Amino acid sequence: MLKFFSSKKSNEDFEHIHIDMDNIPKHIAIIMDGNGRWAKERKLPRTMGHKAGVETIRDIVKECSNLGVKYLTLYAFSTENWRRPNEEVNALMNLLVQYLRKEFKELNDNNVVINHIGDISKLPVLCQQELLEAYNNTKDNSGLVLNLALNYGGRDELIRAFKTICKDIKDGKISEENINEKMVSDYLYTVNMPDPDLIIRPSGEQRISNFLLWQCAYSEFWYSNIKWPDFKVEHLHKAIHDYQSRDRRFGNVK
């Protein structure tokens, strides 16, 4: 089934985009980038950019949920983002707590599971508590699974997996001969989730920045110069529309 969406290009010009509702990506992952530059353009402090970025999250989560996307992974804080000035890191952590408190009801009403991936044990205790509470109160919901990637790094995730695999071999739980792709996937934060079909990165950067390194093996990438606070539902529609026109061969021939 095709669904048509129109978005305003200018005062008189509308662009119509169609989305095939039978080919919605199961898992969309977004590198929410460009908050700092968005703020700089407006001569505002970087933290104002992060605040504006949270507004975008609300609309995008809602639309993914409406479209029937099953998993949405949002890269919110990388293992490398600790290198930023303390004030910025603190502001990001506070925004996370505010976001969870403010949005909990609506997310829960929309049947969303509020999940997280990454090593949250390094986050401030309050953030950890809010994340665990949000997860525990929504884990039985049957709608969209929202993965907030926090203190997430693809390399860190793989190192943790390697260590646990080695330990499980030593403990006789698994044997070396049985290691395969499925088993490695089962040792990652994204256990039981499909790999991302579509990875979106706004802000003009075209790099993976340590995001979902194992899982992105056959993901489709979609880049845009739009900065995350300016990213709108129509950009999501465009990304999904473009995704649907791609030929995913997975190494095979047609």
> Which positions are catalytic?
33, 81
Does residue number 33 form part of the binding site for Mg ion (CB under 5 A)?
A: yes
Pick 92 or 199: Cβ nearer ligand IPE? 92
Amino acid code (one letter) for 54: V
118 within 8 A of 155, measured Cβ to Cβ: no
Does residue number 157 form part of the binding site for Mg ion (CB under 5 A)?
A: no
Amino acid code (one letter) for 24: I
Q: Which backbone phi and psi does 217 adopt, to 5 degrees?
A: -45, -45
**Residue 79 assigned as binding residue:** yes
Does residue number 35 form part of the binding site for ligand IPE (CB under 6 A)?
A: yes
Q: Which residue is nearest to ligand IPE (CB)?
A: 36
Cα(95)–Cα(57) distance, rounded to whole angstroms? 12
Pick 231 or 243: Cβ nearer ligand IPE? 231
Closest CA to 48 of 106, 97, 87, 103: 87
Q: Which backbone phi and psi does 168 adopt, to 5 degrees?
A: -65, -30
Closest CA to 106 of 74, 141, 75: 141
Contacts of 75 (CB under 8 A, 6+ apart): 29, 30, 31, 32, 149, 152, 209, 211
User: What is the arrangement of strands in the sheet containing 71-78, beginning at the earlier edge strand?
Assistant: 113-117, 145-152, 71-78, 27-31, 198-201, 220-223
Identified binder of ligand IPE from the candidate list 119, 205, 230, 234, rule CB under 6 A:
205
Contact segment (CB under 5 A) with Mg ion among 25-33, 40-48, 97-105, 145-153 equals 25-33
Amino acid code (one letter) for 16: H
Cα(168)–Cα(132) distance, rounded to whole angstroms? 26
Question: Least CB distance from residue 75 to ligand IPE, whole Å?
Answer: 4
Identified binder of ligand IPE from the candidate list 29, 31, 112, 240, rule CB under 6 A:
31
Residues 120-179 that bind ligand IPE (CB under 6 A): none
Residue 118 interacting partner from Mg ion, ligand IPE, none (CB closer than 5 to 8 Å by kind): none
Which residues would be at the binding site for Mg ion (CB under 5 A)?
A: 33
Binding site residues, ligand IPE, CB under 6 A: 31-37, 75-78, 81, 92, 203, 205, 207, 209
Residues at the binding site for substrate are: 34-38, 46, 50, 78-80, 82, 84, 201, 207-209
User: Residues comprising the binding site for Mg(2+)?
Assistant: 33, 220
Binding residues: 33-38, 46, 50, 78-80, 82, 84, 201, 207-209, 220
